């Protein structure tokens, strides 16, 4: 595998599992803080150990410096880094995809999700631990045993775009200075939204008849937005009904093709001409494969990576558990304790998906080989 920042897979709501071949070996000769290009700093700081962290930032955010590092507010940091080989390290490191904390709260803040559908720049950093320099950020881990030479374990990955949450929306005409924003997950097909409105005196409106009889409300103007909030169709529907239906054909007529991520602007107009603006955004979920088990007549193999990198070299690792851990997130992982089908000329596939069926429509899913 190249001596680089190699993303293997991305976890839902989290980051990438990244394999950094040779990274530990370049920092400390794979045996401790006695060699590698950090030796001088380790000796002068009386280091007793070395930790690693993964730092990621949305593309276009604060730069990831190669030298001494101070966490920035838009950075996300995780100490989820595995030294491959356990008690018998082979010099490789795997960055694990979870455990991120916002940089401004490092390292006492709560774990958080990464932004969805976002290109992230990431890098591996070394943290020296010693008596005179506790938790010293030594900088980005480089490629090279004496000097990084401008090449570092840094790269890019893109987070998944999966939305799983219950509908959230409530508009209240009692305070017209406030804008209300809500959202929901759209599974396709006709969209029907029922609006419950509270007028200035606390009266509840939940039907067309109640809307028409209410002395404070005049109409609702519903406009169609794109997913970024840009106006697509102003005043698409002007109504006194509390129910709004938007069919797939309506969607195509407005956008030109079926668009699953979009928004609505709802302007509730009072009898004095004032308006209450509310916004509602809908998000769809592309089906995302988490892992695939492949069974033939002899064995079962697990695939988790985007592409084949070949399995890492585990010949120097003495523990079977550590060898299994070293192959995690790769393709073609042998599944221990499970035998093949015993049937020749037959291969079965078992797909595991990221998506919760409650928020995803699998009815038209197709898998092609």
- Residue 220 forms part of a structural domain: yes
Parallel/antiparallel/unpaired status of strands 171-172 and 197-198:
parallel
Least confident of 174-178, 248-252, 336-340: 174-178
Q: Please tell me whether residues 133 and 238 are part of one structural domain.
A: no
Task: Indicate whether 14 and 137 sit together in one domain.
Answer: yes
Characterize 120-155 residue by residue with b for buried, 16 or more Cβ atoms within 10 angstroms of its Cβ, and e for exposed: bbbbbbbbbbbeebeebbbbbbbbebeebeeebbbb
Q: What is the CATH number of the domain that holds 243?
A: 2.60.40.4070
Range with the poorest average pLDDT among 12-21, 23-32, 220-229, 355-364? 355-364
**33 shares its domain with 116:** yes
| 133 and 43 part of one domain | yes
In the chain, the number of structural domains is 3
- Could you tell me if 228 and 119 lie in one domain? no
Same domain, 118 and 219: no
Looking at the domain assignment, is residue 44 inside a domain? yes
Q: Which residue has the higher pLDDT, 364 or 273?
A: 273
Question: Structural domain of residue 313, as residue ranges?
Answer: 289-359
Q: pLDDT-derived band of residue 337, with 50, 70 and 90 as boundaries? A: low
**Which uninterrupted H or E stretch holds 211?**
helix 208-213
Burial of 219 (0-12, 13-18, 19+ CB in 10 A): middle
Residue 164 included in any domain:
no
Flag whether pLDDT at 26 surpasses 90: no
3 state DSSP class of 341: coil
Give the tens place of pLDDT for each residue, 210-250. Answer: 888 888 888 889 999 998 899 999 999 998 887 888 998 99
Residue-wise DSSP of 217-284: EEEEEEEEEETTS-EEEEEEEEES-SEEEE-HHHHHHHHSS--SSEEEEEEEEETTS-EEEEEEEEE-
| pLDDT value of position 32 | 45
Rama region for 99: left / alpha / beta (φ>0; ψ in -120 to 50; rest):
left
What pLDDT does residue 180 have?
A: 63
Is 148 inside a domain boundary? Answer: yes
Q: Please, which pLDDT band fits residue 175 given cuts at 50, 70 and 90?
A: low
Q: Is residue 366 part of a domain?
A: no
Radius of gyration of the CA atoms of the chain, in A: 27
Whether the predicted pLDDT of 305 surpasses 50: yes
State mean pLDDT over 332-360: 64
Task: With CA atoms as reference, report the closest residue to 23 among 5, 35, 43, 8.
Answer: 5
What is the residue-wise DSSP string for 124-136? EEEEEEESSSTTE
Q: Is residue 166 part of a domain?
A: no
Residue 368 lies in a domain: no
Place of tokens 């406030």: 178
Helix (H, G, I), strand (E, B) or coil at 89: coil
pLDDT value for 366: 58
Query: Higher pLDDT residue, 92 or 197?
Result: 92
Same domain, 54 and 111: yes
Considering the domain architecture, whether residues 27 and 142 belong to the same structural domain is answered as: yes
- 320 and 214 in one domain? no
Q: Are 261 and 325 members of one domain?
A: no
**pLDDT above 70 for 351:** no
Separation of first and last alpha carbons in the chain: 26
Q: Does 248 fall in a domain? A: yes
Q: How far is CA 240 from CA 173, 218, 283, in A?
A: 15, 7, 26
* Contact status, residue 254 vs residue 180, Cβ threshold 8 Å: no
Tokens at 189, concatenated: 């097909």
Query: Nearest-CA neighbor of 56 among 96, 28, 92?
Result: 96
Residue 358 DSSP class: G
Higher pLDDT, 73 or 175: 73
108, 132, 158 — which closes off a domain?
158
Instruction: Give me the mean pLDDT over the 143-168 stretch.
Output: 72
12 and 145: one domain? yes
**Which of these ranges, 53-62, 269-278, 334-343, has the smallest mean pLDDT?**
334-343
Question: pLDDT value at position 135?
Answer: 55
Q: Cβ atoms within 10 A of the Cβ of 24, count?
A: 27
């Amino acid at each position: 595998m190249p001596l680089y920042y190699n993303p293997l897979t991305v976890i839902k709501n989290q980051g990438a599992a990244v394999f950094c071949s040779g990274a530990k070996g370049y920092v400390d000769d794979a045996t401790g803080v006695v060699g590698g290009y950090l030796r001088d700093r380790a000796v002068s700081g009386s280091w007793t150990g070395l930790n690693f962290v993964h730092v990621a930032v949305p593309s276009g955010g604060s730069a990831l410096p190669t030298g001494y590092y101070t966490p920035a507010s838009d950075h996300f940091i995780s100490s989820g880094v595995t030294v491959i080989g356990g008690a018998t390290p082979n010099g490789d490191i795997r960055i694990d995809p979870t455990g991120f904390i916002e940089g401004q709260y490092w390292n006492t803040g709560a774990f958080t999700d990464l932004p969805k559908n976002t290109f992230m720049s990431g890098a591996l950093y070394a943290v020296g631990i010693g008596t005179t320099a506790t938790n010293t950020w030594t900088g980005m881990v480089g490629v090279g045993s004496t000097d990084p030479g401008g090449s570092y374990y840094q790269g890019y990955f893109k987070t998944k775009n999966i939305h799983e949450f219950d509908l959230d929306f409530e508009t209240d005409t009692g305070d017209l200075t406030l804008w209300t924003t809500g959202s929901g997950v759209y599974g396709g097909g006709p969209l029907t939204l029922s609006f419950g409105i509270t007028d200035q005196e606390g009266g509840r409106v939940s039907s067309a008849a109640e809307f028409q009889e209410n002395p404070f409300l005049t109409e609702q103007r519903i406009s169609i937005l794109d997913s970024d909030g840009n106006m697509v169709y102003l005043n698409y529907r002007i109504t006194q009904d509390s129910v709004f239906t938007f069919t797939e054909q309506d969607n195509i007529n407005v956008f030109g093709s079926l668009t699953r991520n979009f928004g609505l602007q709802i302007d509730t107009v009072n009898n004095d001409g004032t308006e209450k603006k509310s916004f509602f955004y809908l998000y769809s979920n592309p089906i995302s494969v988490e892992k695939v088990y492949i069974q033939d007549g002899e064995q079962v193999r697990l695939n988790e990576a985007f592409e084949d990198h070949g399995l890492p070299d585990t010949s120097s690792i003495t523990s079977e558990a550590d060898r299994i851990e070293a192959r995690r997130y790769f393709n073609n992982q042998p599944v221990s304790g499970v035998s093949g089908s015993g049937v020749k000329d037959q291969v079965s596939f078992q797909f595991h998906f990221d998506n919760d069926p409650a928020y995803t429509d699998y009815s038209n899913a197709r898998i092609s080989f």
